[in-house]
Every structure is written in structure tokens, then in C-alpha cells.
Amino acid sequence: MATKTAEGATGGTEAGTGARKDDETTTAGPAAEQSAENQAVEEQDAENQAAGDPAAENQGAEEAAEAAGGEAGDATEAAGGKTPSGVGQGAGAVVSAALGLVSLSGGWIGTVASAREQLVGQLQTSSTASVARQIKEVYGDAWHATALWAGLFALAALITGVVVLARPAFGTPGRPQAAWIKSVAWAGVSLGVIGLLLAVLKYSDALLGLPSTG
């Protein structure tokens, strides 16, 4: 009787042990499968990185481009938010050409200065003065005044045109100057040189000097 009881207890113990093993196997099954799947995914990612995945490379290039664009935008905003439009250079070129034309014609201020010198010469010259002195005081000084103002306008046209042409060297790198701005500026420089040369020749009486009275 005692032997049968011991055998039953032993059988019950083995049955309980087997049941616990089955439960542990059942519990560990899904966890092991999940671990295996995670390991497979990690291995696949490692292989993609080692082989240079095109999608990953494209994504990295896009991110780098976006970062570069953001930095460029920040730099533009820091510089003033807007790129130069060239309006100032165009205006300077037009002013240069206009001053060059005025230097050739003398302008109204040159005419007024000439008339004033002529009036002063008439007032300061007596009727008993020699003909040569009268011509010099009445006409010579008036012509010199016209040449002087013409030379000043020509010099202003020349300086303005040179500044406009040299402005891109001190502006935004890689931004070319408009063709029409260059053309008008060069026209102003050319007119300024011609006007300045004529003014110097007239002021020194090398061109259209006073008539001889002898």
C-alpha cells in the first residue's frame, strides 16, 4: 500500500514537471520568434548600409541640400534679405552720359557764367584801353568761363562713369553687370574724355583762341 502511494506521488511529480516544461516552452515560443525577427531586420539594415542603399543615399543628399539651402537663406537674410537690383548702377550710367552731353554743350550755367564775365569785363575796361585788352576782358574771360564749367561737367561725367563700371568688383560676387548699364556708362566715360579734352584746349587758347589785333 505504501509502495503504491509512493509510486503515485512520483508520477504526480513527473506529471507536474512535464506540465511546467510545456508552459515554459509555450511562453518562450513567441518571445524567441520576435527576437529572431528583430535580429533579421538588424542584419538586413546592416547589409543595406554596407552595400550603399540608394534610397538612404538619396535621402542623405536631400537632407544635405536642404541644410545648404537653409544656410544660404540665412546668409541672404543677414546680408539684407534682397539681392542688388542694379537700379543704382543704371541711374549712375545715365547721369554720366547726361553730364558728358552737357560738357559738350556748356549747359545753361556755363552760358550764365560767360555772360557774367562779359559784363564784368565791360564794366572794368575803360574806353581808352587798347583793343587787345578790350577783347581779352570782354570776350576772352567769358570764353574761359564757359570752358571751365564744361571741363567740370566733363570731369564729373568721367568719374561717375568709371565708378559705375568699377562697382561690380565691390558688389555681390558672381553677379554680372547688365549690358545696357555698361554701354551707357562707357558712353558717359567717352563723352567725358572728349569734353574734358576740348575744355582744356579752349581754356588754354589752343583751340579757337582770341583773334590777333596786330
CA 205, 206, 210, 214 torsion: positive or negative?
positive
SS3 content of the chain, % helix, strand, coil (to 5): 85, 0, 15
Its pTM stands at: 0.56
Nearest to 195 by CA among 101, 94, 109, 95: 101
The stretch 140-145 carries a mean pLDDT of 85
Dump pLDDT digits (tens) for 66-88: 666 555 544 444 444 455 567 88
Provide DSSP, 54-114.
HHHHHHHHHHHHHHHHHHHHHHHHHHTSS---SHHHHHHHHHHHHHHHHHHH-HHHHHHHH
User: What average pLDDT does the structure give for the chain?
Assistant: 73
